Amino acid sequence: MATSIRMTGRPALRQFVRHYSAPLDSSIPASKLKYVPTSGTYPKGFLVSGTHVGVKPANKSHPDLALIASERPAFGAAVFTTNKFQAAPVQVSRSVLEKRGGAGLRSIIVNSGCANAVTGQGGVDDAWAMSSTASAQFQQSSQPDDHLGPNSLVMSTGVIGQRLPIAKILNKIPVAYSNLAADHAAWLTTARAICTTDTFPKLLSTTFTLPGAQHAGIEYRLAGMTKGAGMIHPNMATLLGILCTDAPISADAVSTLLTTAVNKSFNCISIDGDTSTNDTVALLANGAASPSASTAPISSSTTPEDYAAMANILTSFAQQLSQLVVRDGEGATKFVTIRVRNALTETDARAIASTIARSPLVKTALYGKDANWGRILCAIGYTSPALLASGAESVIPARTNVSFVPAENSASRAEGVLKLLIDGEPQAVDEERASRLLEDEDLIVDVDLRVGQAEGTYWTCDFSHEYVTINGDYRT
């Protein structure tokens, strides 16, 4: 049934069949293929699988159950949604981490197709059952029970308010376990299994070294997958992220490193308090590439240099990973970096960048390829005082500068910066040049406040007709 018909009339034969999340076919748009890796370098001691369950009855073949496992007990941490309505898997994963102090983790079990959110005690029981059943696979095979309860984190993504088809899922967990593998194909299938309305699987991997003498000559590895595809300030469209490394990191450091990285990456495509019921980003570190069992794990107190290096590596990697979510924003045609510089505080810079990134008027102007600096300025000006640290001093109109900067590798890169507003004064804009710049898929909006030295960057996309179509038509 054509959307335009459904929207404007009341069709006589409307059928009340709900189509939940998760892609119904596996075709990836040609424009997104460049973001899907064809090979990778994956961390040692991690095995993954993507298995078909059919959480959505309409899904007859696509993988919708992901298992990410470590061959040895790993340290782990997770950053969870701040939404007041916390989904059952969030409650359970938080509890698993607390009970074991972030130690002895063996896996993360993820289903797409149903978020298991706002599902009451039954939903919590279901999430525990997923965690326990996944944990049991490893207990049977290799790990003696440490009496700290299940060692598997749980994530779910999809429509909220629906119970999981829990028997189907539990029955397939042994299959997921037997499907575990370490090759690129397995990682890609797993990344696909966590997707909902995403148009492509989001998977990255990298290698890195650490400066400490004990790490000399060791190549560590880091891999991650994510899913999003909803709004770029994700709210109901759940944001999930899973990072795995074979570097040896202490339990405390896993937690602080993840928080540091997420604050400069996943939280810069979102804001505190503006998250879905299910958002979760987790990090597992199993130390499988350690030179020896006696290698001291990375820690901020005992190996500060390695810790700082690891923080940079993880932050940069998480930024690249989270940017893939923006690349796949629902209906997005542009990737826009909002860079606010020379603010009094980082809080101010982030609040202003976030306000610009959220403005529907800015986002529709970008979609319309309109160099409408007025809307950007307006958004700067209405940034909520409740979010600013510096009150009236945070923005001084007569010092405010706004420019469009061509992104690296963009077609109009050679033309340089296009200044729209200098010290509060609008500039005569060469509309032909602006037009060329706005034809580029990537664009940087640079805001120079000239009141301090702090900086904040957000990544966002535009607001298109397709966004309205997708979100006016998601559930029914």
Please report, as residue ranges, which positions from 204 to 233 form the binding site for a second copy (by CB under 8 A): 230-231
Among 159, 164, 240, 310, binds a second copy (CB under 8 A): 159
Query: Which residues in the 77-106 window bind a second copy by CB under 8 A?
Result: 82-85
Query: Any contact of residue 294 with a second copy (CB under 8 A)?
Result: no
Is 280 annotated to bind a ligand? Reply is: no
Q: How far apart are CB 361 and a second copy at their closest, in Å?
A: 5
From the list 42-50, 63-71, 207-215, 428-436, the region that binds a second copy by CB under 8 A is 428-436
Per-residue tokens: 378: 């307006």
In whole angstroms, the minimum distance from the beta carbon of 421 to a second copy comes to 7
439 binds a second copy (CB under 8 A): yes
Is there binding between residue 404 and a second copy (CB under 8 A)? no
CA–centroid distance for 15 within its chain: 34
Nearest approach in angstroms of CB 240 to a second copy is 16
Strand partners, 460: 336
Interaction with a second copy in 337-366: which residues (CB under 8 A)?
A: 359-361, 364-365
The residues in 366-385 that bind a second copy, with binding defined as CB under 8 A, are 367-370, 372-375, 377-385
Residue from 53, 105, 117, 186 binding a second copy (CB under 8 A): 117
Residue 109 CB, nearest approach to a second copy (Å) = 23
Nearest-angstrom CA–CA distance, 41 and 221 = 7
Residue 372 labeled ligand binder: no
- Ranges within 15-34 binding a second copy (CB under 8 A): 16
Q: In the set 28, 36, 103, 118, which binds a second copy (CB under 8 A)?
A: 118
Residue 391 interacts with a second copy (CB under 8 A): yes or no:
no
Q: Is 34 annotated as contributing to ligand binding?
A: no
Compute the least distance from the CB of residue 188 to a second copy, in Å. 29
Structure tokens at 410: 């963009």
Residue closer to a second copy (CB basis): 146 or 465: 465
Contacts to a second copy from residues 53-82, by CB under 8 A: 82
The answer to whether 227 is a known ligand-binding residue is yes
- Determine if 397 is a binding residue for a second copy (CB under 8 A): yes
Which one among 161, 211, 291, 304 touches a second copy, defined by CB under 8 A? 161
Strands 418-422 and 240-245: unpaired
Q: Is 260 annotated as a binding residue?
A: no
295 assigned ligand-binding residue: no
Q: Which is nearer to a second copy, 101 or 161 (CB)?
A: 161
Q: Catalytic residue positions?
A: 238
> Can you tell me which of 276, 322, 323, 460 binds a second copy, judged by CB under 8 A?
276
User: Closest distance between a second copy and the C-beta of residue 258, in Å?
Assistant: 21
Span of 55-63, 136-144, 254-262, 458-466 interacting with a second copy by CB under 8 A: 458-466
Applying the rule CB under 8 A, the residues between 234 and 263 that interact with a second copy are 235-237
Residue 101 beta carbon to a second copy: minimum distance, rounded to whole angstroms:
25
Binding residue for a second copy (CB under 8 A) from 195, 421, 447, 451? 421
3-state secondary structure the chain: CCHHHHHHCCCCCCCCCCCCCCCCCCCCCHHHHHHCCCCCCCCCCEEEEEECCCCCCCCCCCCCEEEEEEEEEEEEEEEECCCCCCCHHHHHHHHHHHHCCCCCEEEEEEEECECCCCCHHHHHHHHHHHHHHHHHHHHHHCCCCCCCCCCEEEEEECCCCCCCCHHHHHHHHHHHHHCCECCHHHHHHHHHHCCCCCCCCEEEEEEECCCCHHHCCCCEEEEEEEECCCCCCCCCCCCEEEEEECCCECHHHHHHHHHHHHHCCHHHCCCCCCCCCCCEEEEEECCCCCCCCCCCCECCCCCHHHHHHHHHHHHHHHHHHHHHHHHCCCCCCCEEEEEEEEECCHHHHHHHHHHHHHCHHHHHHHHCCCCCHHHHHHHHHCCCHHHCCCHHHCCCHHHCEEEEEECCCCCCHHHCCEEEEECCEECCCCHHHHHHHHHCCEEEEEEECCCCCEEEEEEEECCCHHHHHHHHCCCC
Vertex 115 angle, CA 132 and 162, to 5°: 100
Between 246 and 446, name the residue whose CB sits nearer to a second copy. 446
From 214, 259, 295, 469, residue interacting with a second copy (rule: CB under 8 A): 469
Rounded to the nearest 10 degrees, how much is the dihedral formed by the CA atoms of 359, 365, 367, 369? -150
Pairwise CA distance, residues 204 & 191, whole Å? 10
Q: How far is the CB of 204 from a second copy (least distance, A)?
A: 27
Between 117 and 318, whose beta carbon lies closer to a second copy?
117
Q: Which residues are annotated as a binding site for substrate?
A: 196, 227, 238, 330, 471, 476
